Amino acid sequence: MAKVCWECKGKMKEYVAKTPEGVEYRYWKCSKCSEEVLDIKQLHAVAEKYRALKAYSVTISKWGSALAIRIPREVTQVQRIKEGKKALLIPEKTGFKVIPEKA
């Protein structure tokens, strides 16, 4: 499929790339000016796959006077999280982010 760059009218070449999570997506890159285009449909598809990969339903339970959530096994394996490992908990506007310390 031939696409033309909207910026310089150069030829667009199709490429396949992967996000760090391994979600494949296609994009076009101009051979003249290096402009990169990802179409909206692709963007939505990638976002959907991201959501499927990234969202887990967890239950908040009580642990002493604090609350705890279980980290699903799949996540611990992918992120290489082990008992005793430290992590940063960063409160955000609509929740929080947990970043495990690097090994």
- Which residue ranges make up the site for Zn ion (CB under 5 A)? 5, 7-8, 10, 30, 32-33, 35
Q: Which is nearer to Zn ion, 17 or 33 (CB)?
A: 33
The nearest distance, CB 3 to Zn ion, in angstroms, is 10
**In sequence order, what are the beta bridge partners of 91?**
96
> First-to-last CA distance in the chain?
44
Closest CA to 13 of 28, 34, 26, 24: 28
Q: How far apart are CA 76 and CA 83, in angstroms?
A: 10
Q: Which is nearer to Zn ion, 7 or 74 (CB)?
A: 7
Q: Which is nearer to Zn ion, 8 or 38 (CB)?
A: 8
The nearest distance, CB 41 to Zn ion, in angstroms, is 21
The nearest distance, CB 16 to Zn ion, in angstroms, is 20
Q: Is 28 exposed, middle or buried (0-12, 13-18, 19+ CB in 10 A)?
A: buried
